[in-house]
Amino acid sequence: MASKSKISSKKPASKTIEWSEIELVKRHPSIFTRDNSALLMIDMQERLIPAMSNRYELIKNSELILQIANLVELPIIVTEQYPKGLGKTVEKFNELTKAATFFEKTSFSAVGEKNFTSFIEENHFKKIAIIGIETHVCILQTALDLKIRNIEVTVVADAVASRRDENKKIALEKMKQAGVWLATAESLIFDLLEKSGSDEFKKAHELVMK
């Protein structure tokens, strides 16, 4: 009669995996990483900005984000709503948008402009962060139209503005309900940096702490 094999009651020794051994490939979609991503600045124009309720915070945070985008070589896209009547993008951003791709538009949603939509598709952008004005009009419509096209959209709440705070508040809530991610300027920046210790981080940290 064949003898029965004994089954060990001992559990196999488990291997402790160090975090350093794990390649962080998958990240939460709300984290704004650089891969296949772009920064979209909407309608920061001469005749629009003076009417915004929080224009000083808007300009300061937008400038900081543009500086970081240039530092990490993130593609920058700029739209201008009917520039013949509303003026060009404010001169303050000229140096920071030298390498940007510009689109004129008349539709409130940037997606309504064929050239813009083609550019997004051709470059296979998966994530787009939005700054600019106005939150309840062009920001809102563009964000929702990009979202429905399966792009992860992040709106930087302290780098967008409306003439009235209530309009901005309701628009941000509507976008959040629709699955658009909200961020602050600093949180977006640290998403892009991913880690400390590099020369890139040191330069960015100096800009943030100014």
Q: Is the pLDDT of residue 149 over 80?
A: yes
Mean of per-residue pLDDT scores for the chain: 91
Which is more confident, 199 or 24?
199
As a CATH number, domain 31-208 is: 3.40.50.850
pLDDT digits (tens, 9 = 90+) for 55-101: 999 999 999 999 999 999 999 999 999 999 999 999 999 999 999 99
**Domain boundaries along the sequence of the chain:** 31-208
Which is more confident, 198 or 109?
109
Specify burial of residue 94 (Cβ count, 10 A radius: 0-12, 13-18, 19+).
Answer: exposed
Average pLDDT over residues 103-127: 97
Residue with tokens 């399966």: 150
Q: Kindly report the pTM of this predicted structure.
A: 0.88
The DSSP line for 95-164 is: GGGTTPEEEEESSSSGGGSHHHHHHHHHTT--EEEEEEE-IIIIIHHHHHHHHTTT-EEEEEEEEEE-SS
Residue 19 pLDDT grade (very low, low, confident, very high; cuts 50, 70, 90)? low
Instruction: Return the C-alpha torsion angle 45, 46, 52, 56, nearest 10.
Output: 100
CB atoms within 10 A of CB 14: 6
